């Protein structure tokens, strides 16, 4: 067993993804990430918030690292498995036998019932997010998790799904050859219908706090109309994580240069279509239509799925986003090569893949904390 404090210093400090990829300061990949400083900084900030030594909710660090390790194992990504295994083993009070059992998942009898429930929920979010129901949150509640803890666990599993896909994107941009996985385990049970560009509402399965009851810390991460949103008030039960997540979102979608925002919204729409998230698809398909003027193409994508007839550029962007969305991710150098032949540079490709990766996070929250509803 690794002793507490034995974590390699280059992982413990600075940017985890850079450390795991061995990105040297001044390298081409470091310079590329530096062109998206907000996304880069707040991806790490989200990690720091989720694994803080002084977290906002009572989910323990051992439970947090165990959930992230299991997510990495489901995705079959060795670098992330090694990282979270090391972090879990370095957590005070964690026995080496528990680390091994976490890799087996919720069926491991030696695990505490609360941790088994957390890992079962992680399995659901990774493999079958669109199949989640209110009863699945009831299982976490029955295992002793309070509402704020359920939000933290959901954020953690969704973030780990995002972080892993950013890792894949960066490894491809570095030039790594990646072989498509032999078996695709997810997403399963994603709905093939019901997608629309019309406005859709969303109803939470956990009652969020009332707007007038928000603390100053919660108000700080709920600017403008977000205070009126039950979704964002629910996420504000863990305000530090929500603040970093929002900043990551803005750093990916609202930056100058690189991939046109219409194409980033296309990537978000494709990911949402693959995962079966009707709400996210409705919002971001509208953005894609408004910014591109291609309402019919976007609707065809919603109606027919990722195999819909599209022009060459959108076809290749769709294929890349879809390949990054499945579990384990199936994106390869061939996807990037085809887009480079169409004139896209590395910053364009980073934008496309980070947009798709972010909706691996967003979809998993929307699909598993509530359900689409008629707009208010």
CA distance 323 to 293: 25
In this structure, is residue 107 part of a structural domain?
A: yes
In this structure, is residue 33 part of a structural domain?
A: yes
In this structure, is residue 264 part of a structural domain?
A: no
In this structure, is residue 351 part of a structural domain?
A: no
Q: Tokens standing for 158? A: 């969704």
Q: Write out the DSSP string of 52-117.
A: -SS-SSS--HHHHHHHHHHHHHHHT-HHHHHHHHHHHHTSTT--HHHHHHHHH-TT-TTS-HHHHH
Structure confidence at residue 9 (pLDDT): 46
In this structure, is residue 338 part of a structural domain?
A: no
Q: For the chain, where are the alpha helices, taking DSSP H only?
A: 9-12, 16-21, 28-34, 37-50, 61-75, 78-89, 96-104, 113-127, 134-142, 147-174, 216-220, 230-235, 239-253, 261-275, 278-292, 295-304, 312-325, 333-341, 346-369
Distance of CA 76 to the CA centre of its chain: 16
pLDDT digits 0-9 by tens, 45-67: 999 999 999 999 999 999 999 99
Name the domain count of the chain. Answer: 1
In this structure, is residue 135 part of a structural domain?
A: yes
The CA R_g of the chain, rounded to the nearest whole Å, is 20
CATH number of the domain encompassing residue 95: 1.20.1290.10
* Domain span including residue 30: 9-174
Q: Are 275 and 363 in contact (CB under 8 A)?
A: yes
In this structure, is residue 300 part of a structural domain?
A: no
Structure confidence at residue 375 (pLDDT): 84
In this structure, is residue 359 part of a structural domain?
A: no
Query: How do the pLDDT tens digits run along the chain, 376 residues long?
Result: 233 334 444 444 589 999 999 999 899 999 999 999 999 999 999 999 999 999 999 999 999 999 999 999 999 999 999 999 999 999 999 998 999 999 999 999 899 999 999 999 999 999 999 999 999 999 999 999 999 999 999 999 999 999 999 999 999 999 999 999 999 999 999 999 999 999 999 999 999 999 999 999 999 999 999 999 999 999 999 999 999 999 999 999 999 999 999 999 999 999 999 999 999 999 999 999 999 999 999 999 999 999 999 999 999 999 999 999 999 999 999 999 999 999 999 999 999 999 999 999 999 999 999 999 988 7
């Amino acid at each position: 067993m690794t002793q507490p404090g034995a974590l390699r210093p280059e992982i413990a400090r600075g940017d985890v993804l850079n450390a795991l990829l061995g990105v040297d300061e001044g390298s081409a990949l470091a310079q590329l990430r530096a062109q998206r400083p907000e996304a880069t900084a707040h991806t790490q900030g989200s990690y720091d918030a989720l694994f803080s030594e002084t977290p906002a909710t009572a989910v323990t660090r051992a439970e947090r690292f165990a959930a992230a390790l299991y997510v990495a194992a489901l995705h079959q990504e060795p670098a992330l498995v090694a990282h979270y295994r090391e972090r879990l083993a370095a957590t005070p009070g964690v026995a080496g036998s528990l680390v091994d059992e976490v890799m087996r998942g919720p069926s491991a009898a030696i695990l505490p019932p609360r941790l088994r429930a957390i890992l079962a929920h992680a399995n659901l979010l990774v493999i079958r997010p669109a199949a989640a129901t209110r009863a699945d949150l009831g299982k976490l509640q029955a295992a002793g998790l309070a509402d704020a803890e359920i939000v933290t666990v959901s954020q953690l599993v969704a973030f780990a799904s995002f972080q892993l896909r950013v890792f894949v994107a960066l490894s491809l941009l570095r030039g790594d050859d990646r072989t498509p996985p032999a078996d695709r385990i997810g997403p399963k049970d994603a709905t093939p219908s019901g997608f629309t560009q019309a406005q859709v509402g969303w109803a939470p399965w956990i009652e969020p706090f009332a707007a007038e009851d928000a603390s100053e810390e919660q108000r700080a991460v709920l600017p403008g109309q977000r205070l009126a949103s039950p979704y964002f008030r629910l996420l504000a039960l863990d305000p530090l994580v929500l603040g970093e997540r929002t900043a990551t979102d803005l750093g990916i979608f609202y930056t100058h240069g690189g991939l046109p925002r219409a194409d980033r919204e296309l990537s978000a729409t494709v990911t949402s279509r693959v995962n079966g998230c009707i709400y996210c698809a409705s919002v971001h398909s509208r953005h894609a239509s408004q910014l591109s003027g291609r309402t019919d193409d976007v609707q065809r994508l919603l109606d027919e799925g990722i195999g819909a007839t599209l022009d060459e550029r959108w076809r290749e962007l769709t294929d890349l986003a879809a390949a990054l969305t499945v579990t384990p991710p199936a994106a390869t150098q061939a996807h990037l090569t085809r887009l480079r032949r169409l004139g896209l540079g590395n910053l364009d490709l980073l934008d496309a893949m980070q947009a798709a990766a972010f909706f691996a996070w967003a979809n998993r929250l929307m699909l598993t904390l509530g359900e689409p509803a008629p707009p208010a």
